[in-house]
Amino acid sequence: MVSIAGSKKLKRQMAPQFWGINRKSKRFVITVKPGPHKKSHSVPSAVFLRDMLNIVTSLREAKSSIYSGKIKVDGIVRKSLHHAIGLMDVVELENVSEVYRLVPTEEKLLQPIKINESEKSKKLVRVTSKTTINKGQTQIGFHDGRSIISDSKVSVGDTCLIQIPEVKILEIIKLEVGSHGLVTRGNNTGKVGKIETIEEGTFILPKRVILALEDRKIEIPADIIMSIGKGEPVIQIK
């Protein structure tokens, strides 16, 4: 049989820094298989348990926990060591009281934070596509690979607060002047600022946002900004 999903391992030196792995102990580390998030913007579930949370001490223990169905991502049991866990994903562990959400911080591209039990069924997703399908229905695609058929008035770049795992839209947060945006990638990862201006894209330049931070203003591509609300974030991201 020929494998169609690519290699199951990665050289440790090539792994993203936010994984938090020891790069000199062994040559290879388990990697992410194709799934909801890009490989460079996600962490495999086994590495998440062993190196980010330090709940298990070895890959053998991670296998035992994952294959036993003890890890839920966005409310769904995941039994793959290679499942990609990424931006805003909610992780629950059996017999562990804490619930975690992966968010960008000023130190790392993705960092697990503890959230309240009441928020484990809520998630922020960025709208990445909007397509008209059969019978004039609208299909909305999100950054985590999910899609939904909905008549909601959203645009690409907006953020939706959804209920998981049902994928029900609870609130729409527009990418507009006056909203607060979270930088998800780049040199300013994890910073939150107020959107002052939105510049439409041109033939050579992407759509851009002028974001006012505490001490300065920056101009960054709109596709690395996630709207989080007019004032306080609608869910916990710190």
Q: Tell me the DSSP string of 165-201.
A: TTTEEEEEE---TT-EEEE-SSTTTT-EEEEEEEEPP
* 173 close to 158: Cβ distance less than 8 angstroms: yes
The whole-number pLDDT of residue 4 equals 52
Query: Which parts of the chain register pLDDT below 70?
Result: 1-6
Hey, what are 75's tokens? 């409310």
Give 3: exposed, middle or buried? Use CB within 10 Å, 0-12, 13-18, 19+. exposed
Q: Could you read off the pLDDT of 178-189 as tens digits, one per residue?
A: 899 999 998 889
pTM of the model: 0.88
The whole-number pLDDT of residue 18 equals 86
* 136 close to 123: Cβ distance less than 8 angstroms: no
The whole-number pLDDT of residue 6 equals 66
Measured in degrees and rounded to the nearest 5, phi and psi for residue 166 equal: -70, -20
Residue 72: CB partners within 8 Å, gap ≥ 6? 78, 91, 92, 93
Q: What is the DSSP letter of 67?
A: H
The whole-number pLDDT of residue 205 equals 86
